[in-house]
Structure 1
Amino acid sequence: MKAKLLILKLLVAFLLCLTIIPGFSQPPNKMKVLAYYAGGVEGLDIYDVNQVTHLIFCLGRLDGNKFKVRTARDTAIIQKMVLLKKKNPQLKIILSLGGWGGCETCSIVFATKKGRQEFAQSIKAHHQYFGTDGLDLDWEYPTIPGFTGHKYGPHDKKNFTRLVQELRKIGTQYELSFAAGGFRQFLEEAVDWKKVMQQVDYVNLMTYDLISGYSKTTGHHTPLYSTPQQENSTDFAVKYLLKAGVPAEKLIVGAAFYGRVFENVPNVNNGLYQPGQFKTTINFKNIPTQLAPDSGFVYHWDNIAQAPYLYHPEKKLFFTYDDKRSLELKTKYVMDNRLGGIMFWQLAHDPYYNGLLNTIDLVKKNYTPALQSAE
C-alpha cells in the first residue's frame, strides 16, 4: 500500500512539473500588434487598446536638428496615449518621425555628427517628458528617391546606420525601430541591414503601397504573395530579409487599413494588371458605404496573391485593399513563420467595432501556428 502511495505521489509531482517547467509548457503568444495612429484624441477612447501591443504616434517632424511635436493637439494625443497604459499596462507608446512627405531635411540633418547627436538628445528629452517608450524612424527614404523634391543620396546609407547607433546610446530601455519600404529597390539599396538590425529592436515593413499613387497599371497594393505579374509582396520582402540574415523575430509585416482606387481601367481580367490612373484612397471603415455591391462594384479574390480587389465594369474603376480574409491570412503567416508581429496604417481607418484589428486579435488568440518557415 505504501509503495502504491509513493508511486501516486511521484506521478502527481511529475505532472506538476510538466505544468511549471518552461520546456514542457506552451509559451504565450508574443506576437506584436503595432497600430500607427493619426486620428484625433477622441478616437483613442473608442478602440480596444488591449488588442494592440504598441501605439505609434504619427507623426513628428524635424525642427532644425531636433525632434518636434508640431501642435498642442499632437501633445494631447501623446499624453492620451500614455494614459491608456491604465487600460493596458503592457502597452508601449512609440513616437515616430517623418512619414511620406515629412522628412524633407533628414538627409541633410543626419549627414552630420552634430545633427545626429542633437536629434538623439531631443528624442530622449521627449521620452522623459511624455513617458513614451520608443521611437520609430519613418524616413521615406534614405539613399533612394522618395517624396518629390526631398534630398537623398548614397551617403544616406552610412548616415542612417550612424543615426541608429547614436539613438541606441540614449538607452536600451527605449525601443528603436524604423519603417522600411517593402519593395525591391529599398530592400537592396536603402539601408545596411546587417549593421542597422544589430541596433534596432525590429523593422516595420511597409508591405503596402506596393502599387502606389505613381503606378500606371493596377495590381495589389498589399498582397501576401508575389504573382507572375507582380514581384513585390509581403512574402517577397520577408524572404529577402531572412536570406540577408535579419532575425525572424525582428520582422514586422505591414497591413493596410485603406485601399487605392484606379480609374480608366479597361474591363479586362476584371481590371487586374491593366493600365489605369490613381484616383483616390478609401478607408476600410468607409468601404461599405462608398463601394457597396449595389453600387456596381464586384468583389474578386486572387488565389495566388491571397488578396481581394473590387472592379466596377461600367465606371471602369479598380480598387485594391486588405479585407478580413486577407488580414486573417497575413496574421497566420506571421505566426506560422515565427515573425515578430504585424503592424498597420492606420487605426483611425478601422471601424470602432468588429473591424480589421478585431480580425488580427481573434487569430492571435485562437490560431495554432503551423511548423513551417518562410525561408
Structure 2
Amino acid sequence: MLLIALLCVQVSALAETPKAWGYLGWWLPESWRSVPLEKFDRLQFFELQVAADGSVEPRHGWPDEWPELRQAIRESGTPLDLTLTLLDSPTFEKLFASDASAQYLLEQCMSLVAHEDVAGLQLDFEVYTVVEMTTLARYQKFVRTLAQQLHQQQPVKNLSIFFPLGGKSVLYDAVTLTDVDQVVLQGYDAHWTGSKTAGPVAPLSGKDALTWEKAVAEALKLGVPKSRLILGFPLFGYEWRVLRHAPRSSTLGKGASTTFAPVEHLLLPDIPVNVRDRVKQYGASHDAVSGSSSYRFKLSNGRYVEGWFEDWWALERKTDYLIDQQLGGIAFFLLGYDQGELTDHFFRQRARQDQSMRINSILDDTGILN
C-alpha cells in the first residue's frame, strides 16, 4: 500500500516523456481521420505559402474548406498551428529586403491567428544559399516582433520555427531563438533524391553531415533549451538505382520518394512505391550506427535498387534517444504516409516508457532500488 501511495503522490514530479507533433498535409485531406488526434500534443496544418510581397497564398482552403477537421480539433483538445512556408532564396531575399513587405506579412500572420481554431504559427523558411546580412537582420527582427505580438494575445498564441540545417547561412541567432516557443530541427534529408550515394534519410548518429546528434548540438550552441527541441521524423523514404548491391552504393541518376505504407494513388500519383511492400518482398536491414533501415534488390535488367527509410526499429532507437537526452519531442512528417502504423507504435512505446520511468524514479527516490 505504501508503494502505491508513493506512486500516486510523486507521479506529477517526474520528467515528461517526449511530446508528439504531427503535420497534416493539405494534399491528404482525410489523413487526420486515421490518427488519434487526442494523443498528439500539437498538430501543424501544412501548408500556407508566403509570397515575396508578404501575402499568404495559396492557403489550400484554410479555414473554410476544413470544417470537419476544425471540429475534430476542438473535440480532441489538441492545439493546431498553421505552417507558413517559404522555400526559395529569391523570394526570401525580396521579401525581407523590404520593410513594407515584412510588415504586411506580420499583419497577415496576426490576421491568421485571430481565428478561434488557430493556436499558433510555425515558420518553415528554408534558405540554403548565402543571405545578405541586412536581409538576415530584417528577418530576425520580424521573428522577434511576431513572437512578441503572438505572446500578447489572449489566449497566448504559440510560435515555432523549422530549423533547416546544412545551408550556407544560419537564419536564426541566439537572441531570436529566445523568443521562439519551440524549435523543430530538420531531422531528415541527410540523403535525398539528388544524393550521389544512397544512405539513411534520418540518421541518429554517424559520419553523415546531418544526424540527429549533430542537429541537437547545433541548437544547443545557440542556447536553445533541450525541452524546446523537437526532432523531425520522416514517414517517407527514398530509393535509388545504384551501382552495386552494397550499402551506401553510388547512385545512378535521381532517386524517388517512397511512403512508409500504401497511399491511395489518386492522392499521391507521383509516389507509387511504399516501403512496406518493398520490405515484404525483399526484406530489410538495420544499421546500428545510423539507427535507420534499408532494403536492396536486383532488377530484371541486372540493375540494383537501394532504399532507406525509418521503421518501427528505427523509431524505437530515436525515441530512446529523445528520452535519454530529455529532448522536447518528435514531429511526424507527414501524417497519412504511414497509415497510422508508426505513430501508433510511438504512442505505445511512449506509454511503456512513461510507466517505466515513473516506477523506476519513485523506487530510486524511496531507496528501494539501493
Q: Secondary structure at the residue paired with 1:245?
A: coil
Q: 2:172 matched to 1:192?
A: yes
Q: Secondary structure at the residue paired with 1:349?
A: coil
Deviates more, 1:314-323 or 1:282-291: 282-291
Question: Could you list the per-position Cα deviations for residues 262-289 of structure 1 after superposition, in whole angstroms to 9, with x for gaps in the alignment?
Answer: 113322xx23253443321011113356
Q: Which of 241, 253, 267 in structure 2 is aligned with 1:277?
A: 253
The answer on whether the counterparts of 2:237 and 2:309 sit within 8 Å (CA) in structure 1 is yes
The answer on whether the counterparts of 2:70 and 2:117 sit within 8 Å (CA) in structure 1 is yes
Q: Which residue of 2 aligns with 1:31?
A: 18
Alignment of 1:283-294 (within 5 A): 283-286=259-262, 287=274, 290-294=277-281
Q: Which residue of 2 aligns with 1:177?
A: 160
Q: Which of 199, 204, 228 in structure 1 is aligned with 2:184?
A: 204
TM-superposed deviation, 1:51: 2.4
TM-superposed deviation, 1:99: 5.3
- If the length of structure 1 is used for normalisation, what is the TM-score? 0.80
- If the length of structure 2 is used for normalisation, what is the TM-score? 0.81
Alignment of 1:87-126 (within 5 A): 87-89=75-77, 91-98=78-85, 100=87, 105-126=91-112
The answer on whether the counterparts of 1:252 and 1:341 sit within 8 Å (CA) in structure 2 is yes
In the alignment, the residues of structure 1 paired with residue 326 and residue 228 of structure 2 have an alpha-carbon distance, to the nearest angstrom, of 10
In the alignment, the residues of structure 1 paired with residue 225 and residue 257 of structure 2 have an alpha-carbon distance, to the nearest angstrom, of 34
> What are structure 2's unaligned runs of at least 5 residues?
263-273, 362-370
Q: Secondary structure at the residue paired with 1:123?
A: helix
Q: Which of 107, 110, 114 in structure 2 is aligned with 1:128?
A: 114
In the alignment, the residues of structure 1 paired with residue 65 and residue 317 of structure 2 have an alpha-carbon distance, to the nearest angstrom, of 32
Alignment of 1:253-264 (within 5 A): 253-264=231-242
Please tell me the residue identity of whatever aligns with 1:163: F
TM-superposed deviation, 1:43: 2.7
In the alignment, the residues of structure 2 paired with residue 74 and residue 246 of structure 1 have an alpha-carbon distance, to the nearest angstrom, of 31
TM-superposed deviation, 1:55: 1.3
Q: Which of 49, 57, 61 in structure 1 is aligned with 2:49?
A: 61
In the alignment, the residues of structure 2 paired with residue 33 and residue 217 of structure 1 have an alpha-carbon distance, to the nearest angstrom, of 31
Q: Which residue of 1 aligns with 2:317?
A: 329
Larger Cα-atom Rg: 1
Residue 324 to residue 156, structure 1, CA distance change in 2 (3 Å): farther
Residue 61 to residue 318, structure 1, CA distance change in 2 (3 Å): same
* CA RMSD, 1 decimal: 2.9
The answer on whether the counterparts of 2:49 and 2:59 sit within 8 Å (CA) in structure 1 is no
Please tell me the residue identity of whatever aligns with 2:294: Y
The answer on whether the counterparts of 1:41 and 1:80 sit within 8 Å (CA) in structure 2 is no
In the alignment, the residues of structure 2 paired with residue 250 and residue 340 of structure 1 have an alpha-carbon distance, to the nearest angstrom, of 5
Higher relative contact order structure (alpha carbons within 8 Å, sequence separation ≥ 6)? 2
In the alignment, the residues of structure 2 paired with residue 303 and residue 334 of structure 1 have an alpha-carbon distance, to the nearest angstrom, of 17
The answer on whether the counterparts of 1:40 and 1:77 sit within 8 Å (CA) in structure 2 is no
Q: Which residue of 2 aligns with 1:82?
A: 70
Residue 132 to residue 71, structure 1, CA distance change in 2 (3 Å): closer
Please tell me the residue identity of whatever aligns with 1:306: G
In the alignment, the residues of structure 1 paired with residue 65 and residue 321 of structure 2 have an alpha-carbon distance, to the nearest angstrom, of 32
Q: Which residue of 2 aligns with 1:242?
A: 220
TM-superposed deviation, 1:134: 0.9
The answer on whether the counterparts of 1:301 and 1:309 sit within 8 Å (CA) in structure 2 is yes
Residue 77 to residue 234, structure 1, CA distance change in 2 (3 Å): farther
Question: Could you list the per-position Cα deviations for residues 159-206 of structure 1 after superposition, in whole angstroms to 9, with x for gaps in the alignment?
Answer: 3311211211322111111111244x46xx313331121110111111
Deviates more, 1:119-128 or 1:24-33: 24-33
> What are structure 1's unaligned runs of at least 5 residues?
1-10, 146-150
Q: Which residue of 2 aligns with 1:5?
A: none
Q: Which residue of 1 aligns with 2:364?
A: none
Please tell me the residue identity of whatever aligns with 1:82: R
Q: Which of 312, 318, 339 in structure 1 is aligned with 2:306?
A: 318
Q: Which of 209, 215, 219 in structure 1 is aligned with 2:199?
A: 219
TM-superposed deviation, 1:31: 2.9
In the alignment, the residues of structure 2 paired with residue 71 and residue 279 of structure 1 have an alpha-carbon distance, to the nearest angstrom, of 30
